[in-house]
Amino acid sequence: MAATAREDGVRNLAQGPRGCEHYDRACLLKAPCCDKLYTCRLCHDTNEDHQLDRFKVKEVQCINCEKLQHAQQTCEDCSTLFGEYYCNICHLFDKDKKQYHCENCGICRIGPKEDFFHCLKCNLCLAMNLRGKHKCIENVSRQNCPICLEDIHTSRVVAHVLPCGHLLHRTCYEEMLKEGYRCPLCMHSALDMTRYWRQLDNEVAQTPMPSEYQNVTVDILCNDCNGRSTVQFHILGMKCKFCDSYNTAQAGGRRVSVDQQ
């Protein structure tokens, strides 16, 4: 299944008292915006009316000796390891999840790094199996998810790449499939529908239209290949003559009797 690298990671609450629900760490961040101490930027943003800029964090406090010090991986007083992984750019402390900092994305991603590549046009880290096999859309990750309208690029939720090249949060994609199969932006099929189209072929063949509709045609536009064609009208669906998709729409809605052509 198509997938992108996601930002940072989610901590397992059963691992112990360190950190918060978001990260496993042994320090608090001193927010440069309000000078308050929080376990992470997400905890800060939930409780404050402004956002913490991760890149501007300069100081952290050890949860064991409470020493306030410059941001680093190990406490300078008691040698407590603040995080198995530490990024001195994002100031991300967490357990080791094979994270890596992507300079092009500008943030840390869950790895391993060798399993992902950064597509310069999409401006996003993608799974290696998508190299040369995905449709590029310039800066697609800088757009909000069309389902929840929230940010995709810095989201901690995995993004799903649709065949058309658009991105959705994986959770939003899974919810969308419960009610439909089309990309909400371009109406292209969001997954391989070949098997379903063949089932629909059988249903159409077994469902003859009433006599007054048997010689009626309609102009259609295919949402998958953008082809235009004239086909016989059927209540169950009209199949594209070019790609055999039923993901079509009437173009103008005009129906013409075959006898009149």
**Using CA atoms, how far apart are residues 235 and 100, in angstroms rounded to an integer?**
52
**Which residues make beta-bridge pairs with 221?**
228, 249
One domain, residues 107 and 81 = no
Looking at the structure of the chain, the number of domains it has is 3
Give a yes or no: residue 233 inside a domain. yes
Give a yes or no: residue 19 inside a domain. no
pLDDT of residue 55: 97
Contacts of residue 38, defined as CB under 8 A and 6 or more positions apart, other chains included, come to: 28, 29, 31, 44, 47, 52
Q: b/e per residue, 120-131, with b = 16+ CB within 10 A?
A: eebbbbbbeebe
One domain, residues 132 and 154 = yes
Task: Kindly tell me the number of DSSP H helices and DSSP E strands found in the chain.
Answer: 3, 15
Alpha helices in 146-216 (DSSP H): 170-176, 194-205
Give a yes or no: residue 9 inside a domain. no
pLDDT of residue 255: 60
pLDDT of residue 11: 36
Phi, psi for 15 (deg, rounded to 5) = -80, -10
pLDDT of residue 254: 55
pLDDT of residue 251: 87
Low-confidence ranges of the chain (pLDDT < 70): 1-17, 252-261
pLDDT of residue 252: 67
pTM: 0.77
Which domain CATH number covers 231?
Answer: 2.20.28.10
One domain, residues 84 and 134 = no
Q: Looking at 162, 179, 196, which one is the last position of a domain?
A: 179
> Length of the chain in residues, anyone?
261
Contact 203, 236 (CB under 8 A): yes
Which domain CATH number covers 165?
Answer: 3.30.40
pLDDT of residue 17: 61
Model confidence over 125-160: pLDDT tens digits?
999 999 999 999 999 999 999 999 999 998 888 899
Q: Looking at 44, 78, 94, which one is the last position of a domain?
A: 94
One domain, residues 57 and 115 = no
One domain, residues 76 and 137 = no
Burial group, residue 99, by CB count within 10 angstroms (0-12, 13-18, 19+)? buried
Instruction: Tell me which residue range forms the domain holding 164.
Output: 99-179
At 201 the three-state DSSP class reads: helix
